[in-house]
Amino acid sequence: MAPPATFGVVAEREVYLAKEAVPGTIPASAGVPVPLTSFKPSDKPTWIEDESFQGSMGDAYGLYQGPLIAGFDMGGHVVGDHGLPEALYNLLGDYTVSGTAASPASTTNAALAVGATALPVASGGTSFTAGMYLWLQDAGTPAANEVVMVTATGSATSIPITATRFAHLTAMPFTNTTAPYTHVFALLNGSVGAANGPAQGPTWCVTDRQGIASNGAIQYAYACMSEVTITGNAEKLLDWTGKVACAAGVPAGSAIGTTSVSSVVPSPSWRTVTGIGGPASGGTQVKNIAEHAVTLTRAVKPYNTEQGSPQPFIIARGKQGSTGKLTFAPSIDDSARLAMIGNTQPQTQFITSNGLTGSSLVSVQVDILLAGYKTADINDGSELFGYDVGFKAYHTATSSSGITTTGASGGKGAVKVTIINAVPTY
């Protein structure tokens, strides 16, 4: 008997992310490939059984399909350009970006509304050509910086662009850009920069190209992150994991081919520098952290309604929380325990960089203004004593050492993550 000719090879699996213009609507493009070490999707229909009395000893007389939902766990090494940034944008919702200034530059001569697709200028618009990425240098407090793409060569007084996410005042400077770009992710509050309604970040379509389903892939629309964890261990690579709720998977409408991932490589966690009680520099840098983790959670609830469809009417995002852990190994003093006993809630910062410069720079910076230590247990499991610290990050609009966890929406945040890379915008 001849062996089967159609099957999926695990080693050739590839996962893609694409931002949805409308939640639950699969985009035409599968998006960008994301290098992952784990991806475990699961369709989770609600099953309804008929358990009525029917004059016999049977326990159930029918199985009916209820609402459809799915979810998955995913994760991999932090490569800095794709994967973790999309997950943070999805979960936190507040996103601003600035680039490295390049020629040409100009200034708007009229205000811009949310969704504007042209930059008004007094003159010189023809200097801006299709494919340029323009940094809109917002001067608000807080600043709503964003990067838009020029969609066609401008006229003398108008430059066509991709739609703005923020409103901007007249006389706003803008400039062409080059890498690196600085992306800031914080907690979204209200509707300033919101993608899908008050406090709602963007949703993603996740394509699992596994070679089994029709056209070789299954697509999961309406993906909403409920958890993102960034983990560093001095003997490993910087990693991230995530949990997602989404619509039930459907076969891809067309064939999904293989796409090469970017050339950005992960960084070993020993490159991380940690600041406790201040930034990760100067007198507040702590050099005896063997492992750290920061977990961002988001309440996610699918709402099922009587709408003639088993798919959720909406998947809504609610409260956001943040916890973490620090492993002092070896512990060279009693500061961790004293910080817990004294409830000092120290500012904490982690910065992991690939050590390069210019357009090759990739870094991940996590800022926490109030890290309330809940536990600080001495660890005697190795040759030298250490401390295992568990903390919760508390929401605040204050700032310290020039750092704030507040985003463009102006609300109180517990954690802010800044990623520098060569990607113009997400």
Please report which helix (H) or strand (E) contains residue 40, including its range.
strand 38-43
The per-type count for the chain, helices as H runs and strands as E runs, is 2, 27
Q: Cβ distance 41 to 218 under 8 Å?
A: yes
Residue 276: what pLDDT? 97
Whole-number pLDDT of residue 411: 85
- How many angstroms separate the Cα of 114 from the Cα of each of 86, 94, 191? 22, 15, 11
Copy the structure tokens of residue 324.
């973490």
In a domain, 150, yes or no: no
Q: What H or E segment, with its residue span, contains residue 363?
A: strand 363-368
Q: Which domain holds residue 286?
A: 10-48+64-96+183-254+265-421
pLDDT in tens, 182-225: 999 999 999 999 999 999 999 999 999 999 999 999 999 999 99
Main-chain phi, psi angles of 216, to 5 degrees: 80, 5
| Contact between 317 and 113 (Cβ < 8 Å) | no
In a domain, 20, yes or no: yes
CA distances from 341 to 80, 277, 291, 378 (A): 36, 15, 22, 14
Encoded tokens for 326 = 């620090």
3-state DSSP assignment of residue 281? coil
Q: How far is CA 34 from CA 39, 52, 103, 251, in A?
A: 11, 48, 32, 19
Residue 4: what pLDDT? 85
Rounded to an integer, what distance in angstroms lies between the CA atom of residue 136 and that of residue 98? Answer: 8
Q: Which residues pair with 398 in a beta bridge?
A: none
CA distance 303 to 194: 20
Query: Would 32 be classed as within a structural domain?
Result: yes
Q: Give 338's strand partners.
A: none
Please give the Cα distance from 99 to 393 (Å, whole number): 29
Domain annotation covers residue 112 = no
In whole angstroms, what is the distance from residue 68 CA to residue 64 CA? 12
Question: Is there a domain that residue 28 lies in?
Answer: yes
Greatest CA span in the chain, whole angstroms?
A: 85
The number of folded domains in the chain is 1
At 361, the amino acid letter reads L
At residue 141, the pLDDT reads: 87
State residue 203's pLDDT score.
98
In a domain, 397, yes or no: yes
| Helix residue spans in 288-377 (DSSP H) | 335-342
Does a structural domain hold residue 403? yes
Per-residue confidence (pLDDT) for residue 104, from 0 to 100: 98
Residue 158 belongs to some domain of the structure: no
Question: Is-contact 224 206, C-beta < 8 A?
Answer: no
- Report the candidate in 377, 271, 287 with the shortest Cα–Cα distance to residue 332: 287
Given a cut of 70, the residues of the chain with pLDDT beneath it are none
pLDDT of residue 6: 82
Cα(361)–Cα(347) distance, rounded to whole angstroms?
Answer: 25
Cα–Cα distance measured from residue 395 to residue 320, given in angstroms and rounded to the nearest whole number: 10
